């Protein structure tokens, strides 16, 4: 942790510019973008600084990450204060104030109903392989509810593609993830696309990125 609270991810520093070029092509000059699993906040700060017409809404499931996100984004008027959003705790708003959410996590900031609807895009990098599979379904369902017509869900990370060889570095990464947590691991692109389809989204573009990563675009 840096003295000013900014955590630093070497991977985010390496991939921020290639990802920015993709987002510049995919998104209009004026857009409202929700970031899921913003992590250190480096992506939010970099993207928002280069595109002042984007309103960036960073979130993370780990409350401890919010200070780093806020520090990286300090002074950027188009970045909203970071919010906690735990996809596995998130659920639609209760039907009435008399029937509040219940469960192990009743922090209202964790629920999707705190997130604006009619978003132009939702951005999510390097989450699905370090989270239980249910996280993918939750992401797709939440995106389907909160994207504006024509809005995009854009994910980034390593995936396994049927019929294509998996890079040795990705195989080693997958094995390491599964040793750390059996619920983690690289996801089959086909399974992710099926999860999206069940939520009413469709994979419309796949973009090869450096270091054997992919950007997936759903609408």
CA distance 218 to 46: 23
- The answer to whether the CB of 177 falls within 8 A of the CB of 129 is yes
Instruction: Express each pLDDT in 52-105 by its tens digit.
Output: 999 999 999 999 999 999 999 999 999 999 999 999 886 544 433 333 333 333
Cα-based distances in Å from 83 to 1, 94, 172: 20, 19, 33
Domain boundaries, the chain: 10-218
| 151-162 pLDDT, tens digit each | 999 999 999 999
CATH level 2 (architecture), domain 10-218: 3-Layer(aba) Sandwich (3.40)
Are 91 and 75 in contact, with CB atoms under 8 Å apart? no
The CA distance from 136 to 185, in Å, is 12
CA-to-CA distance for 202 and 205, rounded, in angstroms?
A: 9
């Amino acid at each position: 942790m840096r003295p000013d609270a900014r955590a630093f991810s070497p991977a985010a520093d390496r991939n921020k510019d290639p990802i920015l070029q993709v987002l510049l092509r995919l998104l209009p000059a004026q857009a409202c973008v929700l970031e899921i699993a913003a992590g250190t906040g480096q992506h939010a700060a970099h993207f928002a600084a280069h595109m002042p017409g984007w309103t960036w809404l960073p979130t993370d499931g780990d409350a401890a990450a919010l200070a780093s996100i806020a520090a990286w984004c300090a002074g950027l008027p188009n970045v909203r204060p970071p919010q906690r959003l735990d996809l596995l705790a998130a659920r639609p708003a209760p039907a009435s104030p008399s029937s509040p959410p219940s469960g192990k996590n009743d922090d209202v900031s964790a629920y999707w109903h705190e997130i604006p609807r009619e978003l132009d895009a939702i951005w999510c990098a390097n989450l699905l392989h370090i989270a239980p599979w249910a996280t993918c379904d939750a992401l797709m369902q939440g995106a389907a509810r909160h994207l504006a017509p024509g809005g995009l869900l854009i994910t980034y990370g390593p995936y396994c593609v049927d019929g294509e060889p998996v890079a040795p570095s990705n195989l080693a990464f997958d094995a390491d993830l599964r040793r750390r947590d059996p619920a983690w691991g690289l996801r089959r692109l086909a399974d992710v696309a099926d999860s999206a389809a069940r939520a009413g989204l469709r994979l419309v573009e796949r973009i090869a990125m450096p270091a054997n990563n992919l950007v997936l675009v759903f609408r």
